[in-house]
Structure 1
């Protein structure tokens, strides 16, 4: 099988109406989606077997977290070979089959690229370790001499996002930078060889027919000149900071994305780049999606907002100002593989990204309130103009798995902080598909790389199929109504007079009202299209969203 033109992308659209401007994109975390091989780890054939679930849900595209060759020290975000599939997940032929099957169902495919760092098992890094200081092999990575009389101190005081120092010393005395785990050395993006290598990686997957890339740590890559010391806030989010951070958001990163933009422009079919850029404001995030850079950027200020009408309203208003101002769509997201699932998070307060929750987390949230708020939040999100992201399992109403035993955890955050942070395992537990089967149908052998909570029977997809009031049915209804009323291309009008705890907007011919307070809210006379939770009467209960047909 050749590696060119294997799968034809879906049809191209006119400028200004590209698919990615309004798409609902479903994130698949491959190791936890569906396991066809029976080893307890999800794989590409497992994804192919579940594409009808995604087609019936009504999504426009899928984004696959990394499935490349990797020692799996960070669940595939430590890549050893960017041009091949790890045997855990299958083969390149399995990928091609999955891509073809997705395209046959009208579903586009975005793959995850990790350009900030590689695995320490990458052939380049192994060559760097074998080479001398100052060699071309070391110049591909961030090797530096240490401080102190004998170079025994690291080059600066930077800390890893996962905890502990961001520098590791090698046998000849030099140090290498790893903003994440020690097994993930950072590339030096001032090196032309690195730039050319990734152009080749892009073309390899574009030639196979992928529709775009989600780019990991897109605000990283370039480090401040001189590598100055920096001490992050004690309780801040691990991926951001209010003040300038010398390894995030440097101006030179934009040149890299302009270069990638030109590569994608060589191909037909509206190929897209989406930035994972953890920046403190939507205005800063919008800098990554100017017309010659990325096409989308995750709206993390929206994702991490509290369940508060004023805060959410402000982020929505600012997003719809900042992103269109640079010609990009606003994007919306509530959950992904790095944050506490919003069915749990929205019933908590003040929870920093990357910390996770677990058995000893104080103030455990009310699961009933969490799911109710999650449904209401999703209904609000999917009514907004632009593009939206859904994380696998949220259509089942899955909460965070909070009671994982310590001895099964795999997130590097858990180990590098000596158990102070639970990390992200709780949002990565394999999905429940069938209530009566071992591992809830995730694997034919009943194996599961992380244990699934026993009470997930109620969340199994086949259980929800029989309940028209289930979260699964709600998502299908929201996506179908969003599409039929063209809400993704709409314009938002803010409605007054509903009180400080309510968000009320009109998008085209749909009125959307979300009650984030505790008191019921009187509704106007109108035809009900969708309600996040069933209710009777003419008053909207707390933690509920409705879509009404506007006369």
Structure 2
């Protein structure tokens, strides 16, 4: 709906290949017995600008093409397979709610590449023949656009494959392509920004710089010709009709002495690139992978840089809040994101293709998976769902196990392929699949559908102010959202256990007087709520009891 203005030596090698978006640090995962932060300080935030761009109103869906749907029986997902399944994501009919309600797709790398994952590109202006032809891709774009789905593609511009013709030519020191990469006559001392070797000996006897792996040599952005090449690729894909780019490994473009990440020249490059691509299409969208803390991420942001950036601290906080049953973990991280991105231009998610899948991180507890979805699909920011998250697909490292084929049905190969899948289907697919969950009213899939449609129908959930309420129950996540006269209260019990007699307190707000409550999601917790003249709320009883994982969205209206 919503058609509108919206896979014993080989193993070692695989483990060494870090798909260019590996983190600099391993995320911390708390348990119920871990120390927890104190109650979050109250914060009131209203976005400085809202709803002016299509991405502000979209829910995105991340697709690994190789694993989504195989149309020709070769065991590899492809563009035609995605086309076959588009109605699952969005059927283009605003009068139905059987689809997921997706209005943006992020395609993981689609360029030619020698690897299964594609994060080592050999041609920036073509598509991976495993996935189809450029004509197939153009058809995919047309079919998506007809349904109101925008399409962004992974843009891997920090490095290329060592099989790229540029690098092969660069092995000759007299070639103009030599300066496309970063070279040294001797091996420099020290490790790279990820704490591992980053200088590798080439067949020509020189050493080249590669942040992630020897098979991914870094491009030399001190050479203007490299920027010209990337600008040409940008122009090519925008001319094809793509709606934007997810920028991989965005922190590492320039090296400045010992500064190997977040160099000022890197940040300036994105500002210039923004000017370039916005001249081609002012509504082209960029979202960056800057895997670090929120404060550093913010350096790359709008109004001069990337349109959006992924909030890795917040993603960790969603999971940790659920694992500890402590809402302050999540609320504080939301507050931090809003502090640095007051226009809500940040992008939210639970996990992605480089991380333990959310259902696995949450110990396969569906209630917690549902509550996690509730928080980020009713909260500010631009939500990104990783394919299969909505049915509870599981997966842990190595990376291939995070990217197994989509589980469509209980048929052979989970309905993914009529051939032998490139990677084995995950265990449990006979029960965990789209077809089974589609007919179960209380399934995780239908939970996601409901939340996405609720978000689409209520601009306040997308663009409203964010006002956390403090509670005597640490498990209670409660937030007021206000937008153009509409006030919503979102409530969740992050624990598996019921909590009793939970009150909420607020020092100040824009509200005063008495409001009637109407349930938009979940049960009606109370019928009436009264705010003091100064907008405060003192120990208001939400409900005698909130069940484990219970959630609600209430509209507050004047009687």
What is the match of residue 58 of structure 2?
A: 23
Pairwise CA distance, 1:159? 4.5
Q: Within 5 Å, which residues of 2 pair with 1:475-494?
A: 475-486=448-459, 487-494=461-468
What is the match of residue 320 of structure 1?
A: 338
Q: In 1, Cα distance between the equivalents of 2:304 and 2:556? A: 38
What is the match of residue 237 of structure 1?
A: none
What is the match of residue 151 of structure 2?
A: 109
What is the match of residue 272 of structure 1?
A: 285
Q: Is the 8 A contact 1:22 1:385 kept in 2?
A: no
Bigger mean CA offset, 96-105 vs 297-306? 297-306
SS of residue in 2 equivalent to 1:36: coil
What is the match of residue 119 of structure 1?
A: 161
What is the match of residue 95 of structure 1?
A: 137
Q: Within 5 Å, which residues of 2 pair with 1:128-207?
A: 128-129=170-171, 131-132=172-173, 136-146=176-186, 154-159=187-192, 161=194, 165-207=197-239
Q: In 2, Cα distance between the equivalents of 1:140 and 1:252? A: 17
1:543 pairs with 531, 540, 549, which one?
549
Q: Is the 8 A contact 1:379 1:546 kept in 2?
A: no
What is the match of residue 149 of structure 1?
A: none
Q: In 2, Cα distance between the equivalents of 1:521 and 1:190? A: 61
Q: Is the 8 A contact 2:113 2:122 kept in 1?
A: yes
What is the match of residue 87 of structure 2?
A: 52
Pairwise CA distance, 1:538? 6.0
Structure 1 residues 7-59: Cα deviation after superposition (integer angstroms, max 9, x where no partner)? xx9859x9961111232111111111111121111111111111101001111
Structure 1 residues 178-215: Cα deviation after superposition (integer angstroms, max 9, x where no partner)? 11121111001111000000000000000011111000
Q: In 1, Cα distance between the equivalents of 2:522 and 2:403? A: 28
Pairwise CA distance, 1:547? 2.0
Q: Is the 8 A contact 2:405 2:426 kept in 1?
A: no
Q: Is the 8 A contact 1:373 1:544 kept in 2?
A: no
TM-score (norm 1): 0.79
Structure 1 spans left out of the alignment, 5+ residues: 1-8, 147-153, 229-245, 348-364, 403-421
SS of residue in 2 equivalent to 1:82: coil
Structure 1 residues 459-491: Cα deviation after superposition (integer angstroms, max 9, x where no partner)? 111111110101111111101111111111111
What is the match of residue 468 of structure 1?
A: 441
2:356 pairs with 332, 340, 351, which one?
340
Q: In 1, Cα distance between the equivalents of 2:149 and 2:371? A: 26
Q: In 2, Cα distance between the equivalents of 1:52 and 1:80? A: 32
State whether structure 2 residue 440 is matched by structure 1 residue 427: no
State whether structure 2 residue 526 is matched by structure 1 residue 530: no
2:253 pairs with 206, 209, 221, which one?
221
1:389 pairs with 384, 388, 394, which one?
384
1:513 pairs with 488, 491, 505, which one?
491
Structure 2 spans left out of the alignment, 5+ residues: 7-48, 91-98, 504-515, 524-542
Q: Within 5 Å, which residues of 2 pair with 1:401-440?
A: 402=396, 422-435=397-410, 437-440=411-414
Q: Is the 8 A contact 1:28 1:391 kept in 2?
A: yes
State whether structure 2 residue 16 is matched by structure 1 residue 37: no
Q: In 2, Cα distance between the equivalents of 1:313 and 1:15? A: 21
SS of residue in 1 equivalent to 2:105: strand
What is the match of residue 360 of structure 1?
A: none
TM-score (norm 2): 0.78
Q: 1:180 to 1:33 in 2, by over 3 A?
A: same
Structure 1 residues 478-532: Cα deviation after superposition (integer angstroms, max 9, x where no partner)? 0111111111111112223342222111123321112224442457994443349
Q: 1:386 to 1:15 in 2, by over 3 A?
A: closer
Q: 1:477 to 1:253 in 2, by over 3 A?
A: same
